[in-house]
Chain A
């Protein structure tokens, strides 16, 4: 590393400073990535991104500042991935070229890894705009380095309390992330989001859902605090009017539009409303409802959300759950076709207490619980009176056993998992990201 450092110092003195340093960072990171892939046979490591950041800490802000139409950040407790994908699709359908990050890489090093993977030397990116999914602290930190063109705020939930301690701390991050943004698109039904944005400089546009379509469970959408009066009531906005299956009707500034959602559920309709409002802000007069409808028509089912894959000739539904609200909304969406269920909760859930805030009364009998938190899930279910056939913390064995069970007479098997077991199961079954029927 001494030679690298010496070279970096030299190139700095030679005046090519920043650019050379960034190029070195990308080169070093790509070397590490190549070594990991060819020698250690490991993909998807955070190490290349860490190396790039170490060699050139300004690589990230400098690269992001080079997008001519700026950087859009999607942040909030839940719905980030879906909203990012929807917004990206809608913008592309309008002919815009968009750089975006993979949904699981939503912290600083994940963005840098995406840059390492995708930027071309020496010119950087050819895309016009970046749409980045960022977790709340990462968005707040990055806001110090660059000015966002637009921030989309999905919601604030009592989520990952082991990391954030309290929802108001999350709201604080969101306030910081939005402080210098030119424009903000925010959830008008979320009380904490309203408060977090009370003092921002940029103009705020709203999205939301009519009270008639909100989830009927006691959790509602699962916001840490519902708004007393939704902000979209007195402001032009995009609002979910109704949902039936995978069809949603939205009111976009007075225009009614019917779109096909990439998965069942009113929370996806809310994500779509956020994406529409953001696209409208970014495209101005070029915004076309026809293009929006076309974008949603061809959208791939959401990664790990109601996605159906074929394994050994049989259909298996994969459902990713990440927090109270997504667990609740997803199990409420399970229909009678989910006859056999495997639930896997892994070490990504540091504190499984939140499992007790989810209402499981509608859950069908469970065939297998697995993952390193299998016993926590089983205990939760025992107190709910839900029958569990088998508790096996060994994910590989549990999945194999589950798939080997006789096919259900009606419907199909369903696997509900958190992010860590999801990644392991996909790797084990050789499923690529977004592999669908």
Chain B
């Protein structure tokens, strides 16, 4: 029996990987690999890359503020393709300004609100002060909390059909007591860099939904490698967040 294969696409890694956000694709690949599932990671940056078959998961990271206009142009040009993939069932993880640009509208500079890609239905608005430091949030599951770091200029006002990933315990997050956003098939967060390694529940959620759609089977994380990595992540969340 051949191992099931899924494809993860990292979009614009040359522009939108400020804190090593694209590493989240490698985290997904490793976790899938530990359970005997092959993952192919494909970077897509220009028109030539955006042809081809749709991926199962898209990872879009955060740009530096100085590169935001350029990143916004990229999303404007190639975004419709991402929207098609999403409509066809592709899962999306968006971090930082990646989440901002995928929103319904995004305040690029104070007072300058422009339409976003609309994969999320809320609005990414400039915060009164830059948010930087540790960020932790409680999720619906009382035994888990999200933990990591934030470094962003914009907050997020949830759309009516959206849920946050959690309630902020420490840090700023969306700026209104919530952190992140979840909407059918798409997840956005201000937790940058290795958010999926620190919070493996989020990773397994993405893999489960991707596998179910492509192969009709569930993702169960039960290997020894998974357990030891998740024990480290649990320790990090407990001690540092």
Contact = CB atoms under 8 A, between A and B. Distances in A.
Contacts of B233: 379
Contacts of B65: 165-166, 168
Contacts of B156: none
A382 B229 contact: yes
A356 B20 contact: yes
A353 B20 contact: yes
A346 B114 CA distance: 42
A162 B236 contact: no
Contacts of B64: 158, 166-168, 224
B139 to A, nearest CB: 20
A356 B142 CA distance: 29
A136 to B, nearest CB: 15
A357 B197 CA distance: 14
Contacts of A167: 64, 66
10 contacts: A162-B149, A165-B65, A353-B148, A354-B19, A354-B193, A356-B20, A379-B197, A382-B228, A382-B229, A382-B232
Interface in B213-241: 225, 228-229, 232-233, 235-236, 239
A314 interface: no
Nearest to A376: B236
A167 B64 CA distance: 7
Interface size class of chain A, counting residues whose CB lies under 8 Å from the partner chain? 20 to 34
Interface of B: 17-20, 23, 26-27, 30, 64-66, 130, 132-133, 148-149, 151, 192-194, 197-198, 225, 228-229, 232-233, 235-236, 239
Contacts of A376: 236
A162 B30 contact: no
A375 B232 contact: yes
B236 A161 contact: no
A351 B149 contact: yes
Most chain B CB atoms below 10 A, which of A224, A380, A382, A385? A382
A205 to B, nearest CB: 26
Contacts of A380: 194, 197
Interface string A153-169: 00000100110011110
